[in-house]
Amino acid sequence: HLRSLQREQPHNLSVALYLSDLYARTDQVHNAVAQHKHAYMLSEDPHMRAQILAHLAIIYYDHHMFDQMSELVAQAERLNHNFAPLYN
């Protein structure tokens, strides 16, 4: 299970990304947000961080949390202004 793997390897970015996707797809918003934030902290790559923020912004959009969404889009733009999904 991914959760037990994360307990064993808390600094594994791949596990955090898989869990964030799983929680988002199953509409477990609180867990999805927490895992996206955890994945963001694990990554040092600006492109990956922008992608994580974009995914998190979509979750906020889907749940009508537009202020949080806008903040994340602006933050992602500062990291990587050429990240095309931000402009969809």
pLDDT in tens, 2-29: 788 888 988 999 999 999 999 999 999 9
Strands (DSSP E) contained in the chain are none
Rounded mean pLDDT, 28-34: 95
Tokens of 59: 């979750």
Rounded Cα gap, residues 37 and 77, in angstroms: 17
pLDDT exceeds cutoff 80 at 80? no
What pTM was estimated for this model as a whole? 0.85
pLDDT exceeds cutoff 80 at 53? yes
Tokens of 10: 């808390």
